[in-house]
């Protein structure tokens, strides 16, 4: 019982950190002199703020049931999966796509991870991922529910495509590879596949861990 309580407390601390760090960025956007509403254009910021809000809800549920053998509701578990999928997609996009295509010097690499981007591109995704696996108890997920983990990214991709094609936004993710708009379709296909794989493998790993605990 003491071990379960310690695990819950660790989960509470991490979820509180994820919430506070995302709210700090929100505060900077709206109230700090350097705040810029263009932050909301980027999936990195949106996905981390979304994950922070979900972390707060999980935090409340956990605190209410801190002394009980409690499983978070299935709907909240699916929301958590979608949040983790979003931030881990950001994590992998930076490492596997943005760094190879946009980094030309150590300064460029540093800019990918400086200030709040260290948290949003690196630390917070990893914390959210490991919290999902080890520190929050929930029901097992099936492959159909894995598709729900894609919802935030799919919604964002629709707006991103519309705004880039109508020249409201510049293509800051480089999905058109320098203005080749036909390449957007290929980029989106790759991103959809990658998003599902992140969601799928996250739930698969969790299910394996949960199954071992039950045994």
User: Terminus-to-terminus CA distance in the chain, angstroms?
Assistant: 17
Q: Which of 15, 18, 10, 7 is nearest to 120 (CA)?
A: 18
Give the pLDDT score at 57: 96
Q: Does residue 83 contact residue 77 with C-beta atoms inside 8 Å? A: no
Give the pLDDT score at 27: 81
Q: For residues 210 and 78, what is the distance between their CA atoms, to the nearest angstrom? A: 15
* CA 142 to chain centroid: 20
More confident residue, 192 or 138: 192
Q: How confident is the model at residue 5 (pLDDT cuts 50, 70, 90)?
A: confident
Using one digit for the tens of pLDDT, what is the confidence trace for 139-180? Answer: 888 888 999 999 999 999 999 999 998 989 888 888 887 778
Average pLDDT, the chain: 87
Question: Domain coordinates of the chain in residue numbers?
Answer: 2-214
Using one digit for the tens of pLDDT, what is the confidence trace for 24-52? Answer: 888 877 766 666 677 788 899 999 999 99
pTM: 0.89
* Tokens read off for 4: 């379960």
The 10 Å Cβ neighbour count of residue 104 is: 8
Give the pLDDT score at 79: 95
Phi-psi region of 174 (alpha: psi -120 to 50; beta: other; left: phi over 0): left
């Amino acid at each position: 019982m003491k071990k379960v309580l310690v695990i819950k407390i660790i989960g509470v601390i991490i979820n509180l950190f994820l919430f506070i760090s995302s709210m700090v960025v929100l505060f900077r956007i709206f109230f700090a002199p350097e705040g810029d509403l263009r932050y909301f254009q980027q999936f990195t910021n949106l996905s981390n703020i979304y994950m922070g809000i979900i972390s707060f809800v999980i935090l409340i549920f956990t605190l209410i049931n801190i002394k009980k053998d409690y499983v978070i509701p299935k709907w909240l578990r699916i929301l958590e999966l979608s949040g983790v999928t979003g931030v881990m997609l950001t994590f992998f996009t930076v490492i596997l796509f943005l760094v190879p295509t946009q980094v030309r010097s150590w300064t460029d690499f540093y800019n990918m991870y400086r200030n709040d981007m260290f948290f949003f591109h690196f630390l917070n995704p990893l914390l959210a991922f490991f919290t999902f696996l080890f520190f929050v108890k929930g029901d097992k997920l099936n492959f159909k529910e894995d598709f729900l983990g894609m919802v935030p990214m799919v919604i964002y991709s629709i707006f991103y495509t519309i705004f880039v094609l109508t020249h409201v936004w510049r293509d800051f993710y480089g999905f058109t590879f320098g203005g080749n708009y036909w390449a957007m379709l290929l980029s989106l296909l790759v991103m959809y596949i990658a998003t599902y794989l992140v969601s799928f493998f996250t739930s698969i790993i969790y299910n394996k861990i949960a199954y071992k605990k039950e045994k």
